[in-house]
Amino acid sequence: MKVVNDYHMHTKLSPCSGDPEATIANFVRILAERGFKSICITDHYWTRPENILENNPDLKGPFPETLKQILENKKMVESTEFPMKVLVGAEIETYSPDCIGGTLELKEMLDVVLLPTDHFHLTSIIQQPDDHSFAGWGKHIMKFFIAGAKSRVGHVLAHPFVPMGEHHEAPREVLDTISDAEFFDALSIANEYDNAIEINGGCLADPVLNEALVRPYTIAKKAGCKFTFGSDTHRVSTLDRYDLMERFCDTCGITEDDLSSIMIR
């Protein structure tokens, strides 16, 4: 299956980009030459920005103005002719199972809202588990995932089941503590609440994580989930992960019939 859509892209508006060349125009130019049909710009929108600098004091960004700028980009895109379909959304946040940084109103305002449920590396704003063992992290990841799936505030659950943070180098050890039945039940909930599951090129660039994600994604297909593609690029130099997504789909048995209708083909 050929990847011709990218629905997870960060421009220089995202403070973690650091690339002045990461612009909508440059993304369109590069991917149009490769035959892409559609992209969606999904810059970070943190509704609790006051503590984000504790994780990285070098981050720059007009946090209170981010949504305003995202909406301005959306107006610009809608009034511009591009050689492909360009959408504008945002990547929001799951701060805890009881605190999702988005609303149904925001979802209506934007083309695509990505909801990550595993940004545990942002320790100053994301709730950490009480039990720091592999099994404790597994339970924590699943609790966040189910809460995000049930929130209905996102269109797509971004890069799910990634143990970012404390055990980021041991994804298999964490995910092996979660049974097939637990994955199936959680992914069935995601499907029931109309969440697409993202196939994330940035995650698949790590061979260990790539291998560890095969089991939950194969189960996601069995649970009836639909999928989207996202490079999770933060800079022009990382627009090179699409072959990883194609091979991962082959491994998991994911075909074009399994892709979400949210992606414009």
User: Over the stretch 113-166, which tens digit does the pLDDT of each residue have?
Assistant: 999 999 999 888 899 999 999 999 999 999 999 999 999 999 999 999 999 999
- Quick one: pLDDT at residue 145? 98
Instruction: Extract the residue ranges of the chain whose pLDDT is less than 50.
Output: 53, 59-62
Q: What is the CATH number of domain 5-258?
A: 3.20.20.140
Look-up of token digits 């892409």: 36
- Quick one: pLDDT at residue 47? 79
Are the C-beta atoms of 55 and 121 separated by less than 8 Å?
A: yes
Tell me the pTM.
0.94
Taking the CA atoms of 204, 3, 42 and 96 in sequence, report the sign of the dihedral they define: negative
- Quick one: pLDDT at residue 60? 45
- Quick one: pLDDT at residue 46? 84
b (16+ CB within 10 A) / e for 97-111: beebbbeeebbebbb
For the chain, the domains span: 5-258
- Quick one: pLDDT at residue 16? 86
- Quick one: pLDDT at residue 66? 85
pLDDT digits (tens, 9 = 90+) for 47-64: 765 555 455 555 444 455
b (16+ CB within 10 A) / e for 187-216: bbebbeeebbbbbbbbbbebeebbebbebb
- Which residues neighbour 262 within 8 Å (Cβ) at sequence distance 6 or greater? 7, 112, 155, 156, 196, 228
- Quick one: pLDDT at residue 239? 93
